[in-house]
Amino acid sequence: MIPPFVDAAWLAEHDVVLADVRWYLDGRSGIRAFKEGHLPGAVFVDLERVLAAHGEPALGRHPLPDPEVFARGMGEAGIGDDATVVAYDEANGVNAARLVWMLRVLGVDAALLDGGMAAGGEARETGAVPPAPAQFTPRPWPADRLAGIDELHEPGRVLIDARDRNRFSGEFEPVDPRAGHIPGARNVPARETVGDDGRLLAPGELGERFDGVGDDVVASCGSGVTACHTLLVLEHLGRPPGRLYPGSFSQWSNSDREVATGSA
């Protein structure tokens, strides 16, 4: 398996499927941004259509898609069973991480482009890119890499919330019905694991963000997207594989369970 993060030099030396996974919380169109300009040779992967199901509030905003839906989307994007995928976005990788994590837990080589779209150089292509269809075999999401809403507070388990600090504290909530966080969660904002240049912090500085985190980690965020970046960072640091809580705060806040506010 390739590393979970690769740089532009690595990308230039390897034959990969380059995937553009731009998505915007404010409702802007990722495919429109792709058509206006993307890294040469990249294909677009639609987070809403391919990387998530259309969940009811009780399931969260971005539950994992049915394996057949995901497999069909991968095939349409030219990603086959034997592909090596490098994904990017314009958000320090916190959205593209969803695709990378999903592929890696299924045993497919995939990595984030460290530094995102800007790291790929200044050259851009415009318009739609029709990839050659590929065969991607549907396979179930591994249960040992997931956690449900009733499994978050098991003894010894650490729940990490990857959202920005103002959403975790409850000062700001743009999409979910209640503001705050899951009681007992620890806030390690995914966007604070990268520097001003969009690249990962040095391992020592990264490790400090996760001081005191044991071997049993569940990653959460707003809807199970940004949390995937946290899981890739933990893997990058050599930590044991963590679990994703797909429903994340969007599911929790739509339940009748207690919501905490303030900094942890």
Assess whether 221 carries a catalytic annotation: yes
Query: Which of 103, 111, 221, 233 does the annotation list as catalytic?
Result: 221
Question: How far is Cα 36 from Cα 28, in angstroms, rounded to an integer?
Answer: 13
**DSSP line for 60-126:** -SSPPPPHHHHHHHHHHTT--TT-EEEEE-SSTTTTTHHHHHHHHHTT-EEEEETTHHHHT-S--B-
The dihedral through the CA atoms of 141, 22, 9, 83 has a sign that is positive
Q: Which residues make Cβ contacts (< 8 Å) with residue 96, sequence separation at least 6?
A: 19, 21, 22, 87, 88, 89, 112, 113, 116
* Domains of the chain, start order: 5-141 (3.40.250.10), 144-252 (3.40.250.10)
Going by pLDDT thresholds of 50, 70 and 90, the confidence category of residue 54 is confident
Instruction: Provide the pLDDT for residue 118.
Output: 94
217-256 pLDDT, tens per residue?
Answer: 999 999 999 999 999 999 999 999 999 999 999 999 999 9
What is the crossing angle of helices 226-236 and 97-105, to 10°? 60
Q: Among 198, 185, 197, which residue's Cα sits nearest to residue 229?
A: 198
The residue ranges of DSSP E strands in the chain, in sequence order, are 5-6, 17-20, 43-44, 84-88, 109-113, 158-161, 186-187, 217-220, 243-244
Q: Which residue has the tokens 């532009």?
A: 8
Q: Are 11 and 113 in contact (CB under 8 A)?
A: yes
Instruction: Provide the pLDDT for residue 130.
Output: 84
Instruction: Provide the pLDDT for residue 110.
Output: 98
Q: Among 190, 232, 236, 3, which residue's Cα sits nearest to residue 102?
A: 232
From first CA to last CA, the distance across the chain in angstroms is: 35
The dihedral through the CA atoms of 73, 65, 114, 109 has a sign that is negative
Most distant CA pair in the chain, distance: 51
Instruction: Provide the pLDDT for residue 264.
Output: 66
Q: Are 127 and 38 in contact (CB under 8 A)?
A: no
Q: Are 185 and 22 in contact (CB under 8 A)?
A: no
Residue 14 has pLDDT above 90, yes or no: yes
17-41 pLDDT, tens per residue?
Answer: 999 999 998 889 999 999 999 999 9
